[in-house]
Amino acid sequence: MNVSGRMRLRIHRGTKEIGGTCIEVEAQGRRLVLDVGLPLGAPDDEGAKTNLLPAVPGFRSRDDSLLGVMITHPHPDHYGLAGQVRSDVPIYIGEAAHRMLNAASPYVRGSQTLAAPRFIEDRRPIDVGPFRVTPYLVDHSAFDAYALLVEADGKRVFYSGDFRGHGRKRRLFDAVTASPPKDIDVLLMEGTTIGRTGADETYASETELEHAFVRAFRETPGLHFVWTASQNIDRLVTVFRQ
């Protein structure tokens, strides 16, 4: 246990793969976990999930030094193992994200709901033991997604969660980049798309995709089918506007 007055970080999963993210933050003998994701491609049966749960003290047996789990957004690779964590460990998530999970659970195999979570809000700091956590609403294909600023022991860690800058909520991305948190000691940033495009390539914006949908629908007679994630509200809006 760290009682030296220095914040410490441990990344249990997410440095060598995409998804399954789990980050443990420790200060003054207390701990907070950022995301507890199911690795991409992992089986969604309960036995497999139990075996994949990171070895965080307090996840399986009671440990009062674990103060809670912060979920950045409702994609399984960031929250998918939350149901394996002891039920007395507080879970924090956006309120709209929680409603989204509840609405989708009857239709999604292996999905889960979170019992009585505590809600986080954009730019509203919350104190959890020695930690002050400030959520930043970000643009992402998951609804109600956040980056997290974690402060303790005079140190500041900014965890990006998953984000993008080409959706309908690009203004959120622009707001964070225009006025980012100051004096950050450690930046933990996702790199899902690093290396997927050349130096001169960019991803199409949702507006550009909307125009592409219009062209495709006009040029293709008959019934049209669109396959998209149910949580991708931006894409559903794009289809609705056709």
Confidence at residue 112, expressed as pLDDT on a 0 to 100 scale: 75
Q: What's the pLDDT at 151?
A: 98
Q: Does domain 8-188 have CATH number 3.40.50.300?
A: no
Residue 2: its pLDDT value, please? Answer: 53
Q: Is the pTM of this model over 0.75?
A: yes
Portions of the chain given CATH number 3.60.15.10: 8-188
Beta partners for residue 119, in sequence order: 93
Positions of the chain with pLDDT under 50? 1
Spatial separation of the C-alpha atoms in residues 157 and 107, rounded to whole Å: 36
CB 55 within 8 A of CB 68: no
3-state SS string for the chain: CCCCCCCEEEEEECCCCCECCEEEEEECCEEEEEEECCECCCCCCHHHHHHHCCCCCCCCCCCCCEEEEECCCCCHHHHCCHHHCCCCCCEEEEHHHHHHHHHHHHHCCCCCCCCCCEEECCCCCEEECCEEEEEEEECCCCCCEEEEEEEECCEEEEECCCCCCCCCCHHHHHHHHHCCCCCCCEEECCCCCCCCCCCCCCCCCHHHHHHHHHHHHHHCCCCCCCCCCCCCHHHHHHHHCC
Contact 163, 138 (CB under 8 A): yes
